Structure 1
Amino acid sequence: MRILVLNWRDLAHPAAGGAEVYTEQVLRRWVREGHDVTLFAAAVPGRRAVENVDGYTVVRGGNRYDVYREARVWWRRHGRGRFDVVIDETNTVPFHALEWVDDGARTIALVHQTCEEIWHVNAPFPADLLGRYVLEPNWLRRLGHGPILAVSESTRDALARFGAHDVHVVPEGYEPPPLPAHPAKEERPTAVFCGRMVGYKRPLDVMRAVVQARREVPDLRVWMIGGGPDLERLRAIAPPGVEFLGRVSEEVKHDRMARAHVHLATSVREGWGLVVSEAAALGTPTIAYDVPGLRDSTRAAGGVVVPPHPDALARWLVELLPRWQGGIPPVPYGGAHSWDEVAKTLFHAVDEHARIPHGH
C-alpha cells in the first residue's frame, strides 16, 4: 500500500513527544512489510526538506502554524495520484485531509488526544476560550465526518462528545528499554516525575504534594525529570526533597525510573500517558490523576488513579509508599502492547477502511 501520513511534527522536531514515537515505530515496521510510506511534517532547523528515515520518506515544510497549509500545497504539486490512503494524524489541529484529498485516495484520522482543558493552561485569555469553545469543537466536528482511529477509550469518548461516531480504538505500544543490569530500588523513599516542565503537565502539583507528604514521610524525595520553558522558574522555588534534573538521556531517565518506588503523573489530560507504561515496565507503579488518558494507561499498568488535586496525591503517596518500597515485578510492555502488534493492528484498521468506497 502507498501511505501518506500527515503530522505537524516528526521525531527530529525539538518538540517531538509520544505521538511522534508512536508514528516512527509504526511506520518503520510498515516499510519492512513492503509498504511505500511518506510522512509530511513541519520543517526542522538543520534537517533536509526531504529525508529518508528508516526506510520511509520524511517531507518537511512550514512551521507549527502553517504546516497544515503547506501540506495542501505539497499535495496539489506532488501528492495527487501517488497514494492509496492518507492518515490525518491530529495533535489538536487536524489537517482536514478529508476535505482536500481529491483523487480517490481514502482518508482516515488518527487522534491521540483532544485538547479541551489544556487550552486554559497553554493559551492566554481570551484565546483559551476561543480555542476551547469555538475552534476545537469546529475542527473535531469536521473531523468526525470521516472515520477516526483513537489510541484510548478516553479519546474515543471525547471524540463522541463532538459528534464523531465512526471511531475505532487502536492499541498503544511500548518497547521496554534494555538495561545492562536492573538497578536496585533506592533505600530512601523516592518518587519520580517525568515530563516537560509546562503548565498542562502540572509539575507544581507534584511539588505541593511532596511538601504535604513530607510531613509524614520526612525523608521523601522526588526526582523531576524533563526540560521545558518552566524548568528554571520551578527549580528556583523547589522545596526541600525536590530535585530538578532537567532533560536527561534515555539511559539516565530509565535508570532513575527503575530506582524510584513510585512514578507520579499529573497532566491535565493525555492521549494515553506513555511515561506510565515506561515506569511500569521498569517495575515502578504510578499514582496518576484520574483524567482522560492517564486513567487508561495507569489502570492497564496496575497503578492507582486519584482525584486531580495535590491533597489526594499526597494522601495516596503516604498510603502506598510503604507497600511499594519493597518493589513490584515489571509489567510486560508496561500495560501497553508490543510495537509489532500495534503496527499490525493499525495497518489492519487502515487497510480495512481503504477498501471501503466513499459514502459507505
Structure 2
Amino acid sequence: MRILILNWRDLSHPAAGGAEVYTEQVLRRWAAAGHQVTLFAAAVHGRPAHEIRDGYRIVRAGSRFTVYREARRWWQRHGRGNFDVVIDETNTVPFHAHEWVDDGTRTVALVHQTCEEIWHINAPPVLAHLGRHRLEPNWLRRLGGGPILAVSESTREALARFGADDVTVVPEGYEPPLPLPRPAKDEQPTAVFCGRMVSYKRPGDVIRAVGLARERVPGLRLRMIGGGPLLDRLAAAAPAHVTFHGRVSEEEKHDLMARSHVHLAASVREGWGLVVTEAAALGTPTIAYDVPGLRDSTTAAGGVVVAARPEAMAASLAESLPGWLRAAPAPLPYGGAHSWDTVADTLLAEVQRHARVPRGPMRVAA
C-alpha cells in the first residue's frame, strides 16, 4: 500500500508525546513490511524538510497552526494519484482530509483523545469557552462524516457524543524495556508520579493525596518525575516527604518507577495513559482518577480508579497500599496493552478495510 499519514508532530518535535510514539512504532513496522509510508508533519527547528527514518519518509512544513494548510497544499502539488489511503491523525484539530482529498483516495481518521475539559486549563477563558463549545464540536462533527479509528473506548464514547457513528477501537501498544528492570522495592512506602508538570496532569492533586494518606500510612513518601512549567513552583512549596527528580533518562525513570510501590495519575483526561502501562509492566500498580483514558489503561493494567478528588485517591492509597507492601504485583506483560506488532497488524487491517484495499499478508516486521 501507499500510505500517507498526517500528524501535526513527528517524533523529532519537542512537544512529541504518546501519540507520536504510537505513530513511529506503527509506521516503521509498515515500512519494514514493504508498504510505502509518508508522514506529513510540522517543521522542526534543526530538522530537514524531507527525511527518511526507519524506512518511511517524513515531510515537514508549516507550524503548529499552519501545518493543516501546508498539508493541503502539499497534497495538491504532490499527493494526488500517489496514495491508496490517507490517515488523518487527530490531536485536537483534525486535518479534515476527507474534505479535500479529491482524487478518490480513501481517508481514515485516527483519534487519540478529545480535548474538552482541557480547554479550560490550557487556554485563556474566552478562547477556552470558544474552543470547548464551538470549535472542537464543529471539528469533530465534521470528522464524523468518515470512518474513525480510536485508541480507547473512552475516546470512542467521546466521539459518539459529537455524532460520530463509524468508530472502531484499535489497541494501544507498549514495548517493555529489555532487560526488564527488577530492583527491590524501597523499604519505605513510596508512591510515584511520572509526567509533565502541567495543569491538566494535576500534579498538585497527587501531592495533596499523598499528604492526606500519610495520616494512615506513616512514612509514605512521593517521587515526582518529569519537567514542565509548574516544576519550580511545586518543588519550592513541597513538603519534605516529596522529592522532585525533574526530567530523567528512560533508564532512571524505569528504575524509580520499578522501586516504587504505587503509581498515581490524576490527569483531567488522556487518550490512554501510557505511563500507567509502563508502571504495570514494571510491577508497579496504579491508582488513577476515573477519567477518560486513564480508566481504560488503569483497568487494563489491573489498577484502581477513584473519583477525581485528592481525598478519594488518599483513601484508596490507605486501603490498597498495605497489601502491595506485603506482596508487590508481578510485572504485567505489555502493561495491559499489546505488542507493537499486534497494534501495527490490527491498525493495518482496519485501514485496509476502510480503504477497500485487498488484504495481503498481514504480519509486519519489527
TM-score, normalised by the number of residues in structure 1 = 0.97
- Match of residue 225 from structure 2: 225
- Contact kept? 2:86, 2:105, Cα under 8 Å: yes
1:98, distance to aligned residue in structure 2 (A): 0.5
Read off the aligned partner of 1:86 and give its amino acid letter. V
How is 1:209-358 mapped onto 2 (pairs within 5 angstroms)? 209-325=209-325, 326-355=327-356
- Structure 1 residues 25-64: aligned runs within 5 Å: 25-64=25-64
For 1:7, the equivalent position in structure 2 comes to 7
Partners of 1:69 and 1:239 lie apart in 2 by 48
Q: CA deviation at 1:179?
A: 3.3
For residues 50-109 of structure 1, the C-alpha deviation after alignment (integer angstroms, 9 at most, x for no partner) is 111101011111111111111111111111111110000000000000011111111000
Q: CA deviation at 1:217?
A: 2.2
**Deviation per CA, 1:155-210, whole angstroms, max 9, x where unpaired?**
00000000000000000001111136511111111111111111100001011111
What letter is aligned with 1:266? Answer: A
Give the distance between the partners of 2:241 and 2:79, measured in 1 at CA.
54
Separation in 2, partners of 1:69, 1:252: 40
Distance 1:192 1:177 in 2: 19
Give TM-score, length-normalised by structure 2: 0.96
Paired AA for residue 283 in structure 1:
G
**Equivalent residue letter for 2:207:** M
Paired-residue identity, %: 75
**What letter matches 1:339 in structure 2?**
W
- 2:61 and 2:197 map into 1 onto residues whose CA distance is 28
- For the Cα contact (< 8 Å) 2:180–2:282, is it kept in 1? no
State the partner residue of 2:361. none
The gaps in structure 2 that reach 5 residues or longer are 358-366
Question: Which residue of structure 2 lines up, in the alignment, with residue 107 of structure 1?
Answer: 107
1:57-206 residue pairs with structure 2 within 5 A? Answer: 57-179=57-179, 181-206=181-206
Supply the AA of the counterpart residue of 1:320: S
* CA RMSD between the two structures: 1.2
CA distance in 1, matches of 2:181, 2:310: 34
Report the alpha carbon displacement of residue 218 of structure 1 after superposing the two structures with TM. Answer: 3.2
Superposed CA deviations along residues 10-62 of structure 1, whole A, max 9, x for unmatched, are 11111111000000000000011100000011111111111111010111111
Partner-residue secondary structure (3-state), 1:343: helix
Give distance in 1, aligned partners of 2:274 and 2:34. 28
Task: Flag structure 1 segments of 5+ consecutive residues without an equivalent.
Answer: none
1:271-320 deviation line (CA, Å, top 9, x unaligned): 11111010000000000000011001100100000000001111111111
Letter in 1 for 2:347: L
Deviation of 1:234 after TM superposition, in Å, equals: 1.3
Opposite residue 333 of structure 1, the aligned amino acid is: Y
SS at match of 2:125: coil
Letter in 1 for 2:310: P
> Which amino acid is 2:28 matched to?
R
After TM superposition, give the deviation of residue 216 of structure 1 in Å: 2.2
Question: 8 Å contact 2:181–2:255 — kept in the other structure?
Answer: no
Corresponding residue SS for 1:126:
helix
Q: Aligned partners of 1:238, 1:173: CA distance in 2, in Å?
A: 34
1:229 is displaced (CA, Å) by 1.5
What is the DSSP-based 3-state SS (H/G/I as helix, E as strand, rest coil) of the residue aligned with 1:117? helix
Number of residues of Structure 1 aligned to a counterpart in Structure 2? 357
What secondary structure, in the 3-state scheme, does the structure 1 residue paired with 2:323 have? Answer: helix
The CA deviation at 1:215 is 2.0
Q: Partners of 1:277 and 1:180 in 2: how far apart?
A: 14
- The 10-residue stretch of structure 1 (74-83 or 126-135) with the greater mean CA deviation from structure 2: 74-83
